[in-house]
Structure 1
Amino acid sequence: MLAAARESFAGNGFAATSMRGVARAAGVDAALVHHYFDSKDELFVEAMALPIDPRQVAATVLDGPRDELGVRIVTVFLTVWESPDGQQRMKAFLRSVVSSDQVAQLMRDGISRLILVPVSEAIGGEDARLRVSLVASQLIGMALTRYLLELEPIASAPMPTLVERIAPVLQQYLTD
């Protein structure tokens, strides 16, 4: 089922993938897919083998004072990247996103739905989606620089230093 889901998400995108379609491609009854996965979101998370559940990321980021959003976002992001399993999977994920238009579209659709939209709705404002996208651009840039390019001194900077330096920038994006 997961292989069929990966193929469907990659070939059709998040929006066009259905649990029934995945069941059909896997040669199983749709009820079996629903038995193992409560929703298409859950199927997406499992099929993509992400080291984190994007829905939990959004919930963690939004749980706390608004004026600490920047700190929570960069801390959660770096914590995932700093774990051995997380770093390996996230490097593979990031390389795939930048090298494949299909994977980029899939992740754009999935991450938008599971993280960007909920965070945008929570912070509010007419340009909330743009501000949250700017946060994403900062985080992706940091990940490319630190983990793939391994550009010094950011590659070896301690996590607390990065949080201290980056969180205020993210907070600025998120403040109306």
Structure 2
Amino acid sequence: MSVEFGGRLGHSGAVSTTDNTETTARRRGRRPAGQDTRTALIEAARSVFAETGYDGATVRVIATRAGVDAAMVNHWFGSKEGLFAQAVLELPFDPADVQKALRTGPDDELGERIVRTFITLWDGVGGGVFVALIRSITGHEQAGHVLRDFFQRFFSALITSIGSDRVTLRMNLCATQMVGLGMVRYVAKFEPLATEDVEVLVRAIAPNLQRYLTGEIG
């Protein structure tokens, strides 16, 4: 019985170096079908979904960006839908942990802590998931649900914990401020806000957010 090691056996039983070179050339640039492939696909998917939204992204483009065969998407995630769920619909941080951290400090400085934390968190992950969610809302209903659920749960709990009235209205007003900030900084990338220092934005935006949280809203 003959055994192959990276090349086909010739008539004499020796390994064909020509065939081995050709095989290596064909495989160059492809990743092995392991955990690193899954990670590469998630990273590539976040990038592509952020650029084109859900509708504009294709499995082939994502796989090419990741340097793997398109069949790996089905292997690891079942479909583009499954990949989107893993890459975009799962936030890159735990909202409960963030909420707990924000409650450490005076209530009248909560707006500052929210703006600082929001920008720091999304800057730290490149803003990609936020951009992908925004650009996918029209083509993927669940993207809108995730974004809405995050802000509703996040701000409702904070506003309730500090004893403010009209929780639902305040929550919506806070969401307009933070979604708008995310749109301008990460999606539209208006300058200088897109690259402005975090503390400059905290000083500029936090007073208005604080009014939505604890002030008179009419």
Does the 8 A contact of 1:120 with 1:129 survive in 2? Answer: no
The alignment's TM-score, normalised by the length of structure 2, stands at: 0.53
1:165 match: 204
Q: Out of 66, 76, 96, which is 2:107 matched to? A: 66
Q: How many residues get paired? A: 131
2:194 match: 155
Inter-partner Cα distance in structure 1 for 2:155 and 2:86 = 15
Q: Which amino acid aligns with 1:161?
A: V
Does the 8 A contact of 2:164 with 2:213 survive in 1? Answer: no
1:146 match: 185
Relative contact order, higher structure (CA 8 A, sep 6+): 1
Q: Which amino acid aligns with 1:164?
A: R
Q: CA deviation at 1:82?
A: 1.1
1:87 match: 127
1:119 match: 158
Inter-partner Cα distance in structure 2 for 1:46 and 1:120 = 30
Inter-partner Cα distance in structure 2 for 1:52 and 1:92 = 16
2:17 match: none
Structure 1 alignment gaps of length 5 or more: 1-43
Percentage identity across paired residues of the two chains? 37
Structure with the larger helix share: 1
Does the 8 A contact of 1:67 with 1:171 survive in 2? Answer: yes
Does the 8 A contact of 2:152 with 2:172 survive in 1? Answer: no
1:108 match: 148
Structure 2 alignment gaps of length 5 or more: 1-84
Q: CA deviation at 1:93?
A: 2.5
Inter-partner Cα distance in structure 1 for 2:89 and 2:103 = 24
**What are the superposed Cα offsets for residues 102-121 of structure 1, whole Å, 9 maximum, x if unpaired?**
321243235423x1331121
Inter-partner Cα distance in structure 1 for 2:127 and 2:87 = 17
Inter-partner Cα distance in structure 2 for 1:70 and 1:60 = 13
Inter-partner Cα distance in structure 2 for 1:173 and 1:123 = 12
Decide whether aligned partners of structure 1 residues 107 and 46 sit closer, same or farther in structure 2, where only a CA change above 3 A counts. same
Decide whether aligned partners of structure 1 residues 132 and 110 sit closer, same or farther in structure 2, where only a CA change above 3 A counts. closer
Decide whether aligned partners of structure 1 residues 45 and 162 sit closer, same or farther in structure 2, where only a CA change above 3 A counts. farther
Q: Which amino acid aligns with 2:121?
A: V
The alignment's TM-score, normalised by the length of structure 1, stands at: 0.65
Q: CA deviation at 1:87?
A: 1.8
**What are the superposed Cα offsets for residues 112-168 of structure 1, whole Å, 9 maximum, x if unpaired?**
23x133112112233123113211210110110111111122112211111110111
Q: Which amino acid aligns with 2:113?
A: R
Q: Out of 52, 55, 69, which is 2:96 matched to? A: 55
Does the 8 A contact of 2:89 with 2:146 survive in 1? Answer: no
**How large is the Cα RMSD of the aligned pairs?**
2.5
5 Å matches for 1:29-44?
A: none
1:134 match: 173
Moved over 6 A (4+): 44-47
Does the 8 A contact of 1:45 with 1:54 survive in 2? Answer: no
